[in-house]
Amino acid sequence: MNKAPSIIRSRKISQIIALVVINSYFFQNQLKFIPCPGLNCASCPLAIFACPIGSLQHFMVIQAFPFYIIGVIILLGLLFGRAICGWVCPFGFIQEILYKIPVPKKKVAANSLTPYIVLLFLVIITPLIAREPWFCKLCPVGTLQAGISLILTQPQLRSLIGPLYWTKIFILMIVLILSTLSFRPFCKLACPLGAIYGLFNRISIIRVDALKACSSCQKCPDLCQMGLNPMRDSNGRACIKCFECSQCKNFPSQAFRGPKAS
């Protein structure tokens, strides 16, 4: 029997729980040293974890090697790969909610290169040279979760509003608009954390055994919202292991052997 409805429903529940827990406000002082598994701004008034990309940039700025941060990210990558993007990441979930708005849709394939350009230049090289966390300065996640809320709740910060702030707002608006038109555009084209997790996708414990279970009906590419062909790209760098491809009626249940090395 095809287990697609069950696992897709479980993913939605996981996303809701993750969004609430990661931004549950309590235990901030105790947990802010722990990197969040997904992309979530540490400056958000509700956030209880550190942002992994923001933490990486901090060490780039002070020119120290981030042993702890990289160790946590590698561990999460080896365990889950980009399943974190599909099941846990708050900003990914927000993009999915916006995608449900009934407007004409455009399927855009994930780009395997641009997220690594963002990672290399905005997260590593520019902070090292300029001594400023430039990804954080432009990040739409930070603008949505912290930039807007802090300006609204702390009037003394409004005098600091300038061209950079409006640039951040513009970038956020572009991402939000694109999210209504295409599935997870930021994840596909720009997310540096997803780019890192993608490096571990083929060797992580959580796997999508689409190729083993496939009956070669060629319907799964139409189901993949990331614009991939699961016949070729299951467990590839852009696969978020959402199991949407499993909605194909010919997709056998053995494909759900997620925690399995093969």
Which pLDDT score is estimated for 252?
55
**First-to-last CA distance in the chain?**
23
Which pLDDT score is estimated for 218?
73
Which pLDDT score is estimated for 144?
96
Which pLDDT score is estimated for 233?
76
Identify which of 221, 202, 233, 258 has the alpha carbon closest to the alpha carbon of residue 3: 258
Q: Please give the DSSP secondary-structure letter assigned to residue 14.
A: H
Which pLDDT score is estimated for 260?
45
Please check the confidence at residue 44 and state whether its pLDDT lies above 80: yes
Q: Please give the DSSP secondary-structure letter assigned to residue 111.
A: P
- Mean pLDDT over the full length of the chain: 89
Please check the confidence at residue 3 and state whether its pLDDT lies above 90: no
pTM of the shown model: 0.90
Residues 185, 189, 192, 194, CA torsion sign:
positive
pLDDT tens figures, 159-206: 889 999 999 999 999 999 999 999 999 999 999 999 999 999 999 998
Which pLDDT score is estimated for 261?
39
C-alpha 59/C-alpha 77 separation (Å) is 20
Instruction: Give the least confident one: 34-38, 91-95, 175-179, 245-249.
Output: 245-249
Instruction: Give the least confident one: 1-5, 16-20, 191-195.
Output: 1-5
Which pLDDT score is estimated for 262?
39
Please check the confidence at residue 255 and state whether its pLDDT lies above 70: no
3-state DSSP call for residue 154? coil
Identify which of 124, 139, 140 has the alpha carbon closest to the alpha carbon of residue 58: 124
Q: pLDDT band for 246, please (50, 70, 90 cuts).
A: confident
Which pLDDT score is estimated for 215?
64
Identify which of 114, 28, 119, 142 has the alpha carbon closest to the alpha carbon of residue 73: 119
Instruction: Give the least confident one: 64-78, 114-128, 148-162.
Output: 148-162
